[in-house]
């Protein structure tokens, strides 16, 4: 249901989200937990199907395989948007520079398209980290920079401290979690929001309310979840290593949810719906 052929997929011009001077493909492949051959194959396959954005991180232990998949796709480097993230224990300026260079070596790239701070670290002042991140951009290691898992107060601080535009805040966002306040803060400073866990790690695919809405459009519950986030203005980075799901997740640009459906999906958000937490992160929430 709702899947296109490989050729049809490759012909889709992937829509972009513009933010603070960057053009970020609105859908990317998430790669957390994909390793080894599985990861390289998923990246290659995704790019062949029409994905133009891959999300990785130092901590995922798969940057090498992401680079392999990229090269195996045969696409030009300039046609693919690669995001990586610096782990939170590497946010002191010298560590940040070292970690960035090591990520580039593993990816076998001279620059990434987007370099993010993966999680804030309360032990390391943002006033040191943000200028160091900016230097990664001016040194040519990253075309764009941004943050991840920053709350409203941290977004305000980061925007104030940054001499370069920050283009995204990558945060957990799916129909079960209301992120409207944080989204507003990001928009106020020109940042896009990248939704991680956009399928709530599979919960969205099994949600009857999303499945019912999808029936009108011959779309699955997973596709409705992604479409909802896209219409909210997000960039989405769903993860799967399964070819048929790679296609399914990309096939979300030929239908539009109406206002009533968007409102209905917003009612699914509730407390205790957060999936990802990190030790110490709660003090930043
Ligand atoms: N910045 C951060 O701190 C942070 C934190 C978490 C994640 N992320 C990024 O965001 C990406 C996405 O988040 P996530 O991987 O945690 O969760 P997700 O994308 O919400 O969900 C992935 C799960 O959904 C399943 N799935 C995928 N497509 C499906 C479909 N069409 N129908 C049914 N099930 C489907 C996958 O199973 P199969 O593989 O079996 O298909 C997998 O178990 C990550 O991979 C990572 O790149 C960032």
pLDDT digit string, tens, across residues 75-117:
999 999 999 999 999 999 999 999 999 999 999 999 999 999 9
DSSP per-residue letters across 38-70:
HHHHHHHHHHHHT--EEE--GGGT-HHHHHHHH
Ligand 1 pocket, Cβ-based, cut-off 6 angstroms:
30-32, 55, 118, 148-149, 170, 196-202, 205, 222, 237-242, 245, 248-249, 276
Tell me how far the alpha carbon of residue 200 lies from the centroid of ligand 1, in angstroms: 7
Q: Which of 207, 210, 257, 213 is nearest to 231 (CA)?
A: 257
Which of 51, 60, 196, 217 is flagged as catalytic? 60
How many Å apart are CA 209 and CA 187, to the nearest integer?
29
Is 60 catalytic? The answer is yes
- Percent of the chain past pLDDT 70, that is, above it, reads 93
Closest atom, ligand 1, to C-alpha of 174: 20
Tell me how far the alpha carbon of residue 122 lies from the centroid of ligand 1, in angstroms: 27
How many Å apart are CA 208 and CA 249, to the nearest integer?
18
Residue 174, number of CB atoms within 10 A of its CB: 28
Q: Are 104 and 141 in contact (CB under 8 A)?
A: yes
Closest atom, ligand 1, to C-alpha of 57: 47
Which residue's CA is the nearest one to ligand 1's atom 21?
201
Model confidence at 284, pLDDT cuts 50, 70, 90, reads very low
Write out the two tokens for 195: 């939704």
- The answer on pLDDT for 153 being more than 50 is yes
Strands 16-19 vs 22-25: parallel, antiparallel or unpaired: antiparallel
pLDDT digit string, tens, across residues 184-223:
999 999 999 999 999 999 999 999 999 999 999 999 999 9
Which residue's CA is the nearest one to ligand 1's atom 37?
240
Tell me how far the alpha carbon of residue 70 lies from the centroid of ligand 1, in angstroms: 20
Which pTM value belongs to this model? 0.95
Closest atom, ligand 1, to C-alpha of 248: 31
Give the pLDDT mean for 131-153.
Answer: 98
pLDDT digit string, tens, across residues 224-259:
999 999 999 999 999 999 999 999 999 999 999 999
Q: Are 194 and 113 in contact (CB under 8 A)?
A: no
What integer pLDDT is reported at residue 283 of this predicted model? 38
Q: Are 220 and 205 in contact (CB under 8 A)?
A: yes
- The answer on pLDDT for 15 being more than 90 is yes
Model confidence at 4, pLDDT cuts 50, 70, 90, reads low
Which residue's CA is the nearest one to ligand 1's atom 38?
240
- Exposure b/e, 200-236, CB count within 10 A at least 16 = b: beebbbebebbbebbeebebbbbbbbbbbbbbbebbb
Q: Which of 56, 25, 32 is nearest to 234 (CA)?
A: 25
Distance of alpha carbon 257 from its chain centroid, rounded?
22
Which residue's CA is the nearest one to ligand 1's atom 24?
202
Tell me how far the alpha carbon of residue 43 lies from the centroid of ligand 1, in angstroms: 14
The residue to mutate among 2, 196, 229, 243, having the most atoms of ligand 1 within 8 angstroms of its beta carbon, is: 196
């Amino acid at each position: 249901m709702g899947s296109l052929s490989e050729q049809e997929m490759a012909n889709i011009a992937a829509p972009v989200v513009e933010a603070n001077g960057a053009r970020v493909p609105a859908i990317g492949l998430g790669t957390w937990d994909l390793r080894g051959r599985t990861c390289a194959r998923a990246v290659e396959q995704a790019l062949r199907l029409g994905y133009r954005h891959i999300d990785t991180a130092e901590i995922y232990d798969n940057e090498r395989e992401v680079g392999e998949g990229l090269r195996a796709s045969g696409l030009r480097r300039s046609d693919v948007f690669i995001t990586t993230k610096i782990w939170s224990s590497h946010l002191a300026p010298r560590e940040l520079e070292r970690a960035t260079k090591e990520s580039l070596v593993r990816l076998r790239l001279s620059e990434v398209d987007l370099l993010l701070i993966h999680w804030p670290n309360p032990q390391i002042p943002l006033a040191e980290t943000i200028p160091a991140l900016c230097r990664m951009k001016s040194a040519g290691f990253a075309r764009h920079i941004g943050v991840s898992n920053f709350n409203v107060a941290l977004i305000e601080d980061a925007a104030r401290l940054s001499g370069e535009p920050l283009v995204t805040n990558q945060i957990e966002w799916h129909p079960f979690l209301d992120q409207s306040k944080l989204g507003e803060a990001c928009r106020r400073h020109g940042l896009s929001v990248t939704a991680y866990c956009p399928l709530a790690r599979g919960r969205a695919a099994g949600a009857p309310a999303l499945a019912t809405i999808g029936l009108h459009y011959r779309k699955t519950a997973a596709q409705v979840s992604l479409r909802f986030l896209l219409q909210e203005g997000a960039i989405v980075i769903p993860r799967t290593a399964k070819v048929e799901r790679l296609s399914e997740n990309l096939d979300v640009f030929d239908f539009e949810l109406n206002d009533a459906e968007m409102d209905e999906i917003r009612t699914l958000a509730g407390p205790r719906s957060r999936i990802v937490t990190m030790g110490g992160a709660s003090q930043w929430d």
